[in-house]
Every structure is written in structure tokens, then in C-alpha cells.
Amino acid sequence: MLYIAKRLAFYVLAAFVAITVNFFLPRLTPGDPASTIVATYSTTLNEESLAALRQAYGLTDDPLFQQYLTYLGNILRGDFGRSLSNFPAQVSDIIAAGIGWSVLLGLTSVLLSFVIGSALGALAAWRRGGIFDRVAPPVLLFLGSFPYFFLALLLFYFFCFKLKWFPMGNAYSSVNPPPFTLSGIGDVLYHLIAPAFTVVLVSLGPWTLNMRNAMIGVLSEDYLTLAEAKGLKPRRVLFSHAVRTALLPNVTALGAAIGGVFSGQLLTEIVFTYPGLGYSLMRAVSAVDYPLMQALFLIITLSVLAANFIVDTLYVLLDPRVRAGQGA
């Protein structure tokens, strides 16, 4: 358990560093939130409004360090303040409006690419040198090397705009959020297909290739020869012995990928007009919206740290070498 305590201390330190960087980094870039708002939203505001906006938004000339202490205090109390680019909305309200959809789209697409990619990789390695092995990995890598924006826009154009198989946007049909019923969930899933599919399509390649390569390594191990020699059925050898071991690197990657879910699927949100936090983050950065930026960066860093901590902790349970203190 000393190992977990050490890791925990490391993560607390990392979180503190991240919180600090979140504060200083946005403020190091040149820019003035009030000017940006005047320039973006109004053609009639003048210098007086500019000064008034600064005052209203609490943009003070206090020393940066003093502002930093105030910020730390607010973070500890869970007070993220009000967004400047959606003034006077609370940052927490904006995040609450988008986070569910980010998580839904992110988790669905990451888990689907993981499951499908690993299955395809295992299949390719099992029939190594076969037709499937020769065709699938290069095709998937080819798709993955497309710029995502281009591929998504192409699919949007054909399947949503021309053929109208899928909706041209939104996460559900009604304006108010859908009811939590079978038809409501179905509606949400229907809107999820096109955006999730494009993400899966471009990210499938690495999952497949990594799984295939790990499988090939495992298949040449002595214990698999032993398993076959014992007379086990090929299916049993494949699933219980080969896949189980070969999947481990992909599982580690899954931890990292899930941590990245909150950074949002910005391009997917743009192309499929899907709600989520990615677009909010882009707008926050372009509008120099410090409070919203800080809160979003905090969510991203904390979720990456949390996902990694879970992986680290599971190592202890699953890998005897870590328990013995050799490190991961």
C-alpha cells in the first residue's frame, strides 16, 4: 500500500501544478477579454463601455500573485466564477450543459474503437498472413491518416446532407432535453451514430495494429505452444490464453484515451453540430474567457490524472511485479 500512497502523493502534486499552470498560462498570452467582446459582439460600444465591461467582469489590475491566491481560494470552494464570453452565466452552468454530451460521445467512440480495433487485431494475428491480415490493417491506417475534419465533412455531406440517413446536427430531436424513456434514449443514440462512427473510423487503425502486433508476440510464446499441445480447442487457446494477454497494452492505452475524453471532440462537434465542451473550450480560448478556460482545463487535467491513477492502482492488483516494488 506504500506504493499507492506514493502514487497518490504524486498525483496530488501533479494536480496542484496543473491548477497553477491553468491560472498563469492563459494570462501569459496577449489579449484583453473586454476588447475582444466589444469587437465581437457589438458595433456600437465605445471606450466608456470598454472601461465599464472591465469593471463588471472583475478584471482588476491587482498583482498577479494576489489574483492567484484569490483563484486558489475560489477553486477550493468550487467557485469557478462567471464566464466572460457568456456573461453573466455561471461557468458551472455552461459546463453542466455540455459535459454530459462530451462524455457520451467521447466514451462511446473510445470504447467502440477499443473493442472493434482489438477484435480486428486479434483476428488479423490469428489468421496471420491471410487475406484479412493483409487488407485490414493497411486500410484502417490509411483511413486514420486522413485529416479527420476532411473525412468527417465528407461523410456529413453524403450521409447527412445528401442522403439524409442521419440528422444534420444536435444530440436529440426535441428542443427540451428528451425524456428518459426508451424512445428518448433511442433518439439520442440515433443522433450519436454519425459523429461516433467517424471518430471510430479514424481511430481504429492504431488499436488494430497494436493488438495484432501484441498478439503475434504472444502467439510465439512457449505457453501457447503448450496450450495447443495439451489439446485445448483453438477457440479456447485464442480467447483464454492469447487475447487475454495481448490485450493488456491496449487496455493501458484505453486509460489514456478515456482521460482525453473531456478535452472534447472539437472537430466532431463542429462538423456534426453536436453539443459538448470542445467548442466551448475553443470559444473560451478565442474570447480570452479566463474563468471558463480555467475550469475546462481543470476538468481535462483532473480527468487525465484520475484515469491514470486508476490504471496505476489496478497495476498493483494485477501485476505481481509492481507489487514487488519493481515499478511499472
Partner 1 sequence: MHRHTSLKKSPWHLSRSLRALALAGLAGVAALSAPLPAMAEVPLDQLVRIVAEGGNSFTRTFNPFSPTARWVSTRTMYEPTMIQNYATGQLDPWLATGYEWSADALTLTLTLRDDVKWSDGEAFSADDVAFTFNLMKDNPGLIGPAAGAFGQYLSAVEAVDAKTVKFTFSTAYTPGLYAIVDQFIVPEHVWKDVADPVTFENSEPVGTGPFTTIDAFGTDRYQVTQNPNYWQPLNIEGVFVQGFNGNDQVSAAVLSGNIDWGGLVPDPDTTFVALDPEHFGYWWPRTSVVMLLANTTDGALGDTTVRKAMSLALDRQRMINTGVWGKSVPGNATGLPEGPFKDWIDPAVVEAGASWVNIDPDAANKMLDDAGYARGADGIRVDKEGQPMAYDIIVPSGWNDWVSASQIVAENLADIGINVTLRTTTADSWTNSTFTGQFDLSLGTAQRTATPFEFYRNNMATSSVQPVGTASPNNQQRYGDPAVDELLAKFAASTDATEQKAIIAELEGMFNEAAPAIPLYEQPDWGLYNTTRFTGFPNAENAYAPLSLQMTNGPLLVWPKLERRAE
CB nearer to partner 1: give 16 or 146: 146
Q: Which run of H or of E encompasses 199?
A: helix 182-219
Provide the minimum distance between the beta carbon of 69 and partner 1 in the complex, in angstroms, as a whole number: 22
Whether residue 88 has a cis bond before it, omega within 30° of 0: yes
Measuring CA to CA, which residue among 239, 181, 186 is closest to residue 215?
239
Provide the minimum distance between the beta carbon of 204 and partner 1 in the complex, in angstroms, as a whole number: 11
In eight-state DSSP terms, residue 278 is: H
Provide the minimum distance between the beta carbon of 85 and partner 1 in the complex, in angstroms, as a whole number: 6
CB nearer to partner 1: give 152 or 227: 152
Provide the minimum distance between the beta carbon of 163 and partner 1 in the complex, in angstroms, as a whole number: 12
In eight-state DSSP terms, residue 319 is: -
CB nearer to partner 1: give 134 or 145: 145
Taking the CA of residue 111 as centre, how many other CA atoms within 13 Å lie in the half-sphere pointing to its CB? 6
CB nearer to partner 1: give 99 or 136: 99
Provide the minimum distance between the beta carbon of 138 and partner 1 in the complex, in angstroms, as a whole number: 18
What is the full DSSP assignment across 224-266?
HHHHHHTT--HHHIIIIIIIHHHTHHHHHHHHHHHHGGGG--H
Provide the minimum distance between the beta carbon of 136 and partner 1 in the complex, in angstroms, as a whole number: 19
Provide the minimum distance between the beta carbon of 51 and partner 1 in the complex, in angstroms, as a whole number: 8
CA distance 149 to 199: 10
CB nearer to partner 1: give 38 or 136: 38
Provide the minimum distance between the beta carbon of 231 and partner 1 in the complex, in angstroms, as a whole number: 26
CA distance 194 to 152: 9
CB nearer to partner 1: give 1 or 229: 1
In eight-state DSSP terms, residue 168 is: S
Measuring CA to CA, which residue among 15, 76, 24, 26 is closest to residue 281?
26
Provide the minimum distance between the beta carbon of 44 and partner 1 in the complex, in angstroms, as a whole number: 6
- Cα-Cα-Cα-Cα dihedral sign, residues 296, 301, 307, 310: negative
CB nearer to partner 1: give 134 or 321: 321
CB nearer to partner 1: give 65 or 203: 203
Measuring CA to CA, which residue among 249, 255, 242 is closest to residue 304?
255
Phi, psi (5° rounding) for residue 174?
A: -75, 170
Measuring CA to CA, which residue among 317, 301, 316, 318 is closest to residue 13?
301
CA distance 274 to 266: 9
Scanning 90-130, the segments in alpha helix (DSSP H) are: 91-126
CB nearer to partner 1: give 61 or 65: 61
